[in-house]
Amino acid sequence: MRLDNMLLAEGVSGPEKGGGSAAAAAAAAASGGVGADNSAEHSDYRAKLSQIRQIYHTELEKYEQACNEFTTHVMNLLREQSRTRPISPKEIERMVGIIHRKFSSIQMQLKQSTCEAVMILRSRFLDARRKRRNFNKQATEILNEYFYSHLSNPYPSEEAKEELAKKCSITVSQVSNWFGNKRIRYKKNIGKFQEEANMYAARTAVNAASVSAHGSQANSPSTPNSAGGYPSPCYQPDRRIQ
């Protein structure tokens, strides 16, 4: 029953040609991706989907036909036998029921394998990994700035993530992905990121300096820790990710 719903949703078992566009729209919505989309890839996807759909329909029809043929055959057989021995209509009904059950279980298998094919197609074409684009320069700047100024605890809260997402014009989950990747890759070898770390630390230090110079009193509101002296070191032998 689930399978039926799914096939219907994918437009496989729906109406002939109209279903395709509906499924396509659903797929596009599910991919959630950017506005400037496909055309080439998407039509490919649709072509494959309709191929699946065609196979499904022909198979289904074949099964139905076979089922009908078989039942009539059995009925004829029973009728034949009814001349030599009495056969109750109940018995006939029972036989027909058995046949139908058998064939519907076969149909189930067909539906299942069709579902599988659709799922594979989906993961093949709609996987966001295939359409990966790098974030623009300033977005990564913003993210890196946050990361290196919170190096001792680079876990932005939900609100912070939302803010970053807005600033970078990406989604919150993209922010989460970015921080996940950054944390693990930074930890994996700190040496490779040393330059970057120093650079951002220096930048925030300069920022703080200019702010304090412009203002009246020395203060560092947005840099709870790290960020040592202005000039150079900023080595952080400190422990990082817990």
Burial code of 216-233, b = ≥16 C-beta within 10 A, e = fewer? eeeeeeeeeebbeeeeee
**Binding range to DNA, per CB under 7 A, among 12-20, 84-92, 123-131, 206-214:** 123-131
Tokens representing 155? 């876990």
Amino acid code (one letter) for 160:
A
CB of 104 to DNA, least distance (A): 31
Site mask for DNA (CB under 7 A), range 162-181, x = bound:
-----------xx-xxxxxx
Q: Is there binding between residue 134 and DNA (CB under 7 A)? A: yes
Q: Is there binding between residue 192 and DNA (CB under 7 A)? A: yes
CB of 137 to DNA, least distance (A): 10
**Residue given tokens 């989309």 in the structure block:** 37
Q: What is the rounded end-to-end Cα distance, in angstroms, of the chain?
A: 47
- Binder of DNA out of 2, 85, 90, 133 (CB under 7 A): 133
Q: Where do runs of H (alpha helix) occur along the chain?
A: 2-10, 18-31, 40-81, 89-125, 137-149, 158-168, 172-188, 190-214
Cα separations (Å) of 150 from 36, 163, 181, 188, 204?
Answer: 35, 15, 15, 18, 11
- Binder of DNA out of 2, 85, 90, 129 (CB under 7 A): 129
**Binding range to DNA, per CB under 7 A, among 12-20, 78-86, 87-95, 125-133:** 125-133
- Binder of DNA out of 66, 190, 206, 241 (CB under 7 A): 241
Closest CA to 181 of 223, 135, 117, 218: 135
Q: Is there binding between residue 140 and DNA (CB under 7 A)? A: yes
The footprint of DNA (CB under 7 A) covers: 123, 127-135, 140, 155, 158, 173-174, 176-181, 183-185, 187, 192, 241
